[in-house]
Amino acid sequence: MSKIVIKGGSNLHGEVNISAAKNSVLPIIAASILSGDKCIIDNVPMLEDVFVISNILKSISADVTIDKKLNKIIIDTSNISYCDPCSELVKKMRASFLIMGPMISRFGGFKLCLPGGCNIGTRPIDLHLKGFAALGAKVNVEHGFVEAKAKKLIGNKIYLDFPSVGATENIMMAAVTAEGETIIENAAEEPEIKDLADFLNSMGANITGAGSRAIHIKGVKNLKGSSHSPICDRIESGTFMVAAAITKSKIRINGINEEYLKPIIAKLTEAGVYIRCEGNSLIVDGNRELNPIDIKTMPYPGFPTDMQSQVTGLLSTVKGTSIVTETIFENRFMHVMEMKRMGANIKIDGRSAVIEGVDKLTGAEVKATDLRAGAALILCGLAAEGKTEVIDIYHIDRGYVDIEKKLKLLGADIERVNE
Ligand code: UD1
């Protein structure tokens, strides 16, 4: 088992380069199924989740070549067949379910075991299934498997009860070859949705409005192979912004898109962090007195739930009372228990965390309970007095490329220890 060991108190300085977005590349890899041809994805973050979805594709006979040096994946889906993907792999992560839409589109149906993923809430898939049914598929959930069958998919108007990212992507991918027009209303607006639509359009799809509340998809006969370079990771960017703030340091973050970061920039600026954008870079200076703030997570363009634990960690070091309300996932405060081991003063009241800033955090052995919680604990460790050991870091490896190496380059006293 590996762990990350941090000696807190170092000042960070210098520059860090942001990788491409995990949440873009996973649906894009799933979308390659639609081509029945060769797709090339560049600038791929070499992450555990990327290897999992690539292996799922291999388990249904796709030919996947991963070039770790060039950060490139070549996927040939011409030999994919309607067969069972490896359930062990599918259960590892929720994004596995994103192959369902493309498989239904290409083969008129598919059977997949219910997915797994971070333990941050019940995470149902009802909205995905309602969308497939609205397109004319017969959907059945039995013995832990979902089966969808459709003689023909027909475009429809689909109103999502909640702007789910995964449901928007899955329905969009199922609908690209449906007869006629599909309109997804109350769709998720995350930048990764637009990135997926751009890739699908480059394959020959006819999608407009992605990135807004209403997505229009005009069905096409078939799609062809294409190449794509996914957008930058706004959550990794935000994590490094908090790293600067929590260590009272000034760093430069390269390869960002200011537009995607607006909700994070707004809240950190409100807390008193100095942030300046220079093209595709951000200068973040946390070396000043910060104020407590209140935050509520919301679908994009609101404050992202994937930044909630990192900011909770930061606010636990800011004098005064802050309130963080989680509206997206009902079980996303597991990091609070771990932060308390480090001396944080946080009380959970329903969906809110009431945070009383403490003078200092102290190093402790803490457990990464999920991907972003793990990153948040590393950030707390950077600011804490003494040594912090973060265990169960396999969660962190699912979503951050070389996080400890990037922080070390910035001057942190941090290392991965393989036991
Ligand atoms: C995606 C992101 C994840 C992020 C989340 C919210 C990927 C690979 N993952 O996850 O990092 O935290 O968006 O920004 O892109 N829901 C339902 N029924 C459904 C689907 C969702 O009730 O059929 C609920 C979920 O339980 C949750 C909320 O909708 O409470 C948001 O989930 P969703 O937007 O679907 O998240 P994911 O796509 O799983």
**Helix ranges (DSSP H) in 213-307:** 234-246, 258-270
The alpha carbon dihedral of 179, 181, 185, 191 has a sign of positive
Per DSSP bridges, beta strands 352-356 and 345-349 are: antiparallel
| Sign of torsion over alpha carbons 412, 413, 418, 419 | negative
Q: Is 234 annotated as a binding residue?
A: no
Query: Could you tell me which CATH number the domain at 2-19+232-418 has?
Result: 3.65.10.10
Q: Give the pLDDT of residue 121.
A: 58
**For a pocket test of ligand 1, which of 328, 332, 334, 400 has the largest count of ligand atoms closer than 8 A to its C-beta?**
328
CA of 24 to the centre of ligand 1 (A): 14
pLDDT at position 85 is 82
Whether residue 206 has pLDDT greater than 60: yes
Pocket of ligand 1 (CB under 6 A): 23, 26, 94-95, 121-128, 162, 164-167, 188, 305-306, 328-329
What's the CA gap between 35 and 200, in Å, rounded? 9
Q: What is the pLDDT at residue 4?
A: 98
Mean pLDDT of 159-177: 98
Distance 121 CA to ligand 1 centre (A): 10
- What average pLDDT does the segment 163-189 reach? 98
What predicted TM-score, i.e. pTM, was given to this entire model?
0.97
Same fold? 2-19+232-418, 22-228: yes
Residue 114 marked in a binding site? no
Residues ≥6 apart with Cβ < 8 Å to 136: 150, 151, 152, 153, 154, 156, 178
115 band by pLDDT with thresholds 50, 70 and 90: confident
124 is in an annotated binding site: yes
Could you tell me the distance, in angstroms and rounded to a whole number, from the CA of residue 299 to the centre of ligand 1? 9
Q: Report percent pLDDT > 70 for the chain.
A: 98
Name the 3-class secondary structure at 50.
helix
Q: Is the pLDDT of residue 120 over 60?
A: no
Is it the case that residue 117 has pLDDT exceeding 70? Answer: no
User: pLDDT band at 84, cuts 50/70/90?
Assistant: confident
Number of the ligand 1 atom closest to the C-alpha atom of 162: 29
Identify the pLDDT of residue 81.
84
Ligand 1: distance of its center to the CA of 293 in Å?
A: 25
Q: How far apart are CA 76 and CA 73, in angstroms?
A: 10
Q: Using one digit for the tens of pLDDT, what is the confidence trace for 350-389?
A: 999 999 999 999 999 999 999 999 999 999 999 999 999 9
Nearest CA to ligand 1 atom 35: 164
At 144 the pLDDT is 85
Contacts of the segment 306-309: beta carbons below 8 A, 24+ positions apart: 306/235, 306/238, 306/372, 307/235, 307/238, 307/239, 307/242, 307/264, 307/372, 308/332, 308/372, 309/335, 309/372, 309/373, 309/375, 309/376
Quote the pLDDT of residue 122: 62
Residue 257 backbone dihedrals phi, psi, to 5 degrees: -125, 110
Mean pLDDT of the chain: 96
Nearest CA to ligand 1 atom 32: 164
Neighbour tally for 378: CB within 10 Å: 26
- 126 among annotated binding-site residues: yes
Quick one: which atom of ligand 1 is closest to the CA of 123? 26
The CA distance from 367 to 407, in Å, is 19
What confidence tens digit (pLDDT) does each residue in 300-339 have? Answer: 999 999 999 999 999 999 999 999 999 999 889 999 999 9
- Residues marked as catalytic: 118
Give residue 137's pLDDT: 97
Q: What's the mean pLDDT in 253-277?
A: 98
Query: Which CATH code fits 22-228?
Result: 3.65.10.10
pLDDT at residue 124 above 90? no
Q: Which of the four pLDDT bands, split at 50, 70 and 90, describes residue 419?
A: confident
pLDDT reported for residue 82: 78
Give the domain ranges of the chain: 2-19+232-418, 22-228
